[in-house]
Amino acid sequence: MRILNASGCLDALAAPEVARQLDAFVTKTVTPLPREGNAPPRIAETAHGMLNAIGLANPGRERFLAEHLPRLRELGLPLWVSVGGFCADDYAETCTHLEGIEAIELNLSCPNVDEAADSAAEIVAACRRTTELPLFAKLSAAHPDVAEVARAVAAAGADGLSLINTLRAVALDRLLRPALARGSGGLSGPALKPVALHAVSVCHEATGLPIVGMGGIETGRDALEFAVCGARDIALGTVLFSDPGAPTRVREELEAAATEAGVVIVDDGKGLAKSPETQRKVPA
Rounded CA separation 93/15 (Å)? 29
Q: Does 220 bind ligand FMN (CB under 6 A)?
A: no
* Contact predicate 16/7, CB 8 Å: no
Q: Which CB sits closer to ligand FMN, 92 or 281?
A: 92
The stretch among 13-21, 72-80, 231-239, 250-258 that binds ligand FMN (CB under 6 A) is 231-239
Q: Which of 21, 31, 38, 82 binds ligand FMN (CB under 6 A)?
A: 82
Q: Which of 3, 4, 8, 197 binds ligand FMN (CB under 6 A)?
A: 8
The binding track of 42-81 with respect to ligand FMN, each residue x by CB under 6 A or -, is ----------x-x-x-------------------------
Which among 190, 168, 171 has a CA at the least distance from the CA of 238? Answer: 190
Q: Does 158 bind ligand FMN (CB under 6 A)?
A: no
* Contact predicate 253/221, CB 8 Å: yes
The binding track of 105-144 with respect to ligand FMN, each residue x by CB under 6 A or -, is --x------------------------------x------
Sequential DSSP letters for 42-58? -EEEETTEEEE-----B
Active-site position among 9, 110, 127, 229: 110
Say how many Å lie between the first and final Cα of the chain, rounded.
22
> How many Cβ atoms from other residues are within 10 Å of residue 224's Cβ?
27
Rounded CA separation 63/94 (Å)? 12
110 is catalytic: yes
Q: Work out how close the CB of 19 gets to ligand FMN at its nearest, in angstroms, rounded to a whole number.
A: 15
Q: Which CB sits closer to ligand FMN, 9 or 126?
A: 9
Measured from each CB, the residue nearest to ligand FMN is 8
Size of the site for ligand FMN (CB under 6 A): 24
CA angle 235, 240, 246 (to 5 degrees): 75
4 vs 129, 206, 216, 223, 279, CA distance in Å?
27, 24, 14, 11, 23
Sites of contact with ligand FMN (CB under 6 A): 6-9, 28-29, 52, 54, 56, 82, 107, 138, 165-166, 188-189, 192, 214-217, 236-238
